[in-house]
Chain A
Amino acid sequence: MNELRAPGTLSAAWLLARKDLAIEFRTRTAFFSALVFAILALCIFYFAWDQSIVAPSELAPGVLWVVLTFSALLGLQRSFGLEEHDRGIDALLVSPVSRESIYLGKAIGNLLFLSAIQAVTIPALALFYNLPVGRPLLVVTGIVLLAMIGIVAVGTLFSAMAVNTRMAELLLPMLSLPFFVPILMSAAQIATRTLAGRPMSESAPYLKILIAFDVVFVVACTLAFPFTLEE
């Protein structure tokens, strides 16, 4: 029998993320449903608002976070659903890769998946809501990425917990949304100030909160994940 050298934590995580993205690339079901939802939501908010009362550029930050949150939930639903269909998760659990690698792989896959959606959503938002293209939009894109790290960290953990339940579609948002609040609150404050042309120093405290929650959620969820797999 072979003496095998199993991949390290990050190599195994990247292997899993690539596998998930390859499956999504072949099927494209979750990507298109999340993308169509995001674009439709942008349109509905745009036409539902009285532009003589609130300018589209003032409305944009709120719309951005609503769209990001719910398109993220659509993407996160599928994360562990992929493993449940034919119990692919069992093959992962009996393999020599660590439980932490499985979590990180899923989280990296989810982050890249959501980044692809935001890569279309943010330019569409700028177009619909007449946002200034340039530095403010780049800063907002960076903030979206930071917010997605925290959202993905929490959402991936709860996706694993909810997938085996009968009401997974309801349970994931119910469990996740309260934990999204500090991330969304900080990120929304920074985005609103940035798009209003205020100096970055005004947003610094919120940026610190956002980064702190990202770090806490990534570490805590990585450590908690192995316990979600116990039957």
Chain B
Amino acid sequence: MPSAFPAVDVSGVSRTFGRRRAVDGVDLTLHAGDCLALFGPNGAGKTTLMRVVAGLLTPTTGSVHVGGRSLRGDAAARAQVGLISHQSMLYRALTARENVEFAAKLYGVPDPRAAAMRALERIRIADRADSPVRALSRGLQQRVSIARAIVHEPSVVLLDEPYTGLDAAGGAALTDMLHLLRAAGASMILVTHNVEEGLAVASHAAVMIAGRIVRRDTCALVDARTYAGEYRALVVA
């Protein structure tokens, strides 16, 4: 049964650090199966916004709800979210499987070992399951990090530059997985600098500059090449 609430509802969110306003009055609404590609130059506030949506930062003003519930203090709401960040969030001394299995246990996934192997297979790194993370390249670590983030089959996935460090095969595996997650009804926010990559998987696109959303589009209605040119002009201006 579809939920009466949006999958993600960001309402009037601002976040300041001292006197600097990193995020300034952002409103976003995502429904089940929506994928928002969020573009913007360095320092635009994209990562801060993602950390606020993930519940890692408290908004200075405004509110964030996932499935109608606030993440802070609500364990069931947090269990619906998966986060892929700049950092791998992995433990280097543990193997890839142990890292993903640990995450599965934190979320109470039944049969965590089997779930960990399934997640590693989805991102095509099951053959390195027993390698310590410290022995993996940056790209392979990123794949393990993605497996860790989706092992509990979240309904909301937050991806902050997930393609960083991935080779062509890794990038293709990630794109396939994002399509599958969307088909299963997951909502996503994808932060990326690569306009073509973002538009290939997203249903909606937005541009963030100086903490504000300055442009919103529906991906089906835009031409990727034209959009990329307009985006560059917007960023340079």
Binding site for B on A (CB under 8 A): 1-2, 4-7, 12, 15, 19, 22-23, 26-27, 82, 85-88, 90-98, 230-231
Contacts and interface: CB of A to CB of B under 8 A. Distances in A.
B90 interface: yes
8 contacts: A1-B154, A1-B155, A26-B94, A87-B85, A90-B54, A90-B87, A90-B89, A94-B56
Contacts of A98: 75
Please indicate which of the listed interface residues B81, B85, B106 has the most CB atoms of chain A within 10 Å of its own CB. Answer: B106
Nearest to A19: B102
B76 to A, nearest CB: 7
A97 B87 CA distance: 20
Contacts of A230: 58
Contacts of B75: 6, 96-98
Contacts of B78: 94-96
Contacts, number: 96
Contacts of A90: 54, 56, 83, 85, 87, 89
B76 A96 contact: yes
A97 B106 CA distance: 7
Contacts of B56: 90, 93-94, 231
Contacts of B107: 4, 6, 95-96
B87 A87 contact: yes
B89 A87 contact: yes
Interface in B63-84: 71, 75-76, 78-81, 83
Nearest 5 A/B pairs, CB to CB: A96-B75, A87-B87, A91-B89, A96-B79, A95-B106
A87 B160 CA distance: 14
Contact of B106 (A6, A26, A27, A85): A6
B86 to A, nearest CB: 8
Contact of B91 (A1, A5, A23): A23
Given A1-B154, A96-B75, A96-B76, A88 B90 contact: yes
B87 A95 contact: no
A4 B85 contact: no
B108 A23 contact: no
